[in-house]
Chains A and B, each alone.
Chain A
Amino acid sequence: MKKAAPIIGLIVGIALACLLALFFRENPLHVLKVLLTSSYNSKFDFGLTLFYTTCLIFSGLAFSIPMKAGLFHIGAEGQIIFSAVVAAYLGHVLPFDTSFSILLLCVLTALAGFLAAYVIALLKLYRQAHEVVVAIMLNFILSAFATWFTINRLQNPNSQNPETHLIQPSFQFLNNDFLKVYFEQSAVSSFFLVAILFCIVLFILEQKTLWGLQIRAYGSNPLAARRLQISDFKILTISLGLAGVCSALVGLTEVLGNTFQFKIGFSPQYGFLGIAVALLARNNFLGIIASAFLMASLHKGASDLDLETKFLTRDFSLILQAIIIFSVASSYYFFNYRFKKKVKLD
Chain B
Amino acid sequence: MPSSETASFIEFKNISKVFDEHFACRDISLKIQRGTVHALVGENGAGKSTLMKILGGLLPATSGTILLSEKIYQPTSAQEAFQNYIAFIHQHFVLADNLTALDNLVLSSSTAGSVLQKKPMQQIRQKAHALLKKFSWTIDLDKVVYKLSIGQQQRLEILKALLQSPEIIIFDEPTAVLTPQEATELLHFILELKTQGKTIILISHKLHEIKKVADNISILRHGELVFTDAANSISVSEIAEKMIGRRLESHQRASGHMTKKVIFQWGNENISLMKGEIFGVAGVEGNGQNELISKMLNELRQQKLSYGDISEDRVRLSVFENLSLTEHMLLKHPHEFVSNGVIQKERLEAATAELLARWDVRPGVVTQPLHELSGGNQQKFIVGRELWNEPKILLAAHPTRGVDLGAQQKIHEALHEYKKLNAVFLVSSDLDEVIGLADRYIVLYKNKIFGPFQKNELNEMQIGLYMAGGVS
Contacts and interface: CB of A to CB of B under 8 A. Distances in A.
A227 B47 contact: no
A228 B334 CA distance: 10
A221 B372 contact: no
A228 B19 contact: no
B320 interface: yes
Contacts of A345: 19, 24, 44-45, 47, 49-50
B309 interface: yes
B327 interface: yes
Given A210-B330, A346-B49, 13 more contacts: A208-B343, A213-B343, A217-B327, A220-B320, A220-B322, A224-B318, A227-B309, A341-B372, A342-B371, A345-B24, A346-B44, A346-B46, A346-B48
B20 A210 contact: no
Contacts of A214: 331
B317 A227 contact: yes
**Range, interface on chain A:** 20 to 34
Contacts of B372: 341-342
A103 interface: no
Interface string A221-263: 1011101111000000000000000000000000000000000
Given A227-B309, A345-B50, A346-B44, A217 B323 contact: yes
A93 interface: no
User: Which 6 pairs of residues, A with B, have the shortest CB-CB distance?
Assistant: A220-B320, A346-B49, A346-B44, A345-B45, A221-B320, A343-B19
Contacts of B47: 345
A226 to B, nearest CB: 9
B247 interface: no
Interface in B328-342: 330-332, 334, 338, 341-342
B338 to A, nearest CB: 5
25 contacts: A208-B342, A209-B343, A210-B330, A213-B323, A213-B331, A216-B320, A217-B327, A217-B331, A220-B323, A221-B316, A221-B321, A224-B311, A224-B316, A224-B319, A224-B320, A227-B309, A227-B317, A228-B332, A341-B20, A341-B372, A342-B371, A343-B19, A343-B20, A345-B49, A346-B50
A214 B328 CA distance: 10
B334 A210 contact: yes
B327 to A, nearest CB: 6
Nearest to A219: B320
B362 interface: no
Interface in A317-346: 341-343, 345-346
A52 to B, nearest CB: 32
Contacts of A213: 323, 327, 330-331, 343
Interface string B29-54: 00000000000000011111110000
A216 B323 contact: yes
Contacts of A221: 316, 319-321
Contacts of B301: 229
Interface of B: 19-20, 24, 44-50, 301, 309, 311, 316-323, 327, 330-332, 334, 338, 341-343, 371-372, 402
A208 B320 CA distance: 18
Contacts of A208: 342-343
Nearest to B341: A209
A325 B296 CA distance: 47
B310 to A, nearest CB: 11
A224 B317 contact: yes
Contact of A223 (B46, B309, B316, B322): B316
Interface string A133-164: 00000000000000000000000000000000
Interface in A24-76: none
Contacts of B46: 346
Nearest to B44: A346
Contact of B45 (A220, A224, A346): A346
A123 B20 CA distance: 45
Contacts of A229: 301
A238 to B, nearest CB: 14
A221 B331 CA distance: 13
A280 B46 CA distance: 43
Contact of B311 (A210, A217, A227, A343): A227
With a 10 A CB-CB cut-off, give which of A214, A217, A341, A346 has the most chain B CB atoms.
A346
A224 B327 CA distance: 13
Contacts of B323: 213, 216-217, 220
B252 to A, nearest CB: 27
Contacts of B343: 208-210, 213
A209 B339 CA distance: 10
A210 B341 contact: yes
A345 B25 CA distance: 10
A51 B32 CA distance: 74
B48 A228 contact: no
Contact of A228 (B50, B321, B331, B402): B331
B298 to A, nearest CB: 11
B320 A210 contact: no
With a 10 A CB-CB cut-off, give which of A214, A216, A220 has the most chain B CB atoms.
A220
Nearest to B371: A342
Contacts of A223: 316-317
Contacts of B44: 345-346
Contacts of A342: 371-372
Contacts of B19: 343, 345
Contacts of A209: 338, 341-343
A223 B312 CA distance: 12
With a 10 A CB-CB cut-off, give which of A209, A216, A224 has the most chain B CB atoms.
A224
Given A209-B343, A210-B341, A220 B321 contact: yes
B49 A217 contact: no
B342 A227 contact: no
B311 to A, nearest CB: 6
Nearest to A226: B317
A228 to B, nearest CB: 6
A38 to B, nearest CB: 40
A36 B316 CA distance: 47
B190 to A, nearest CB: 21
Given A210-B334, A341-B20, A345-B24, A227 B48 contact: no
B291 to A, nearest CB: 15
Nearest to B402: A346
Contacts of B341: 209-210
A245 B321 CA distance: 29
Contacts of A346: 44-46, 48-50, 402
Contacts of B24: 345
A96 B223 CA distance: 78
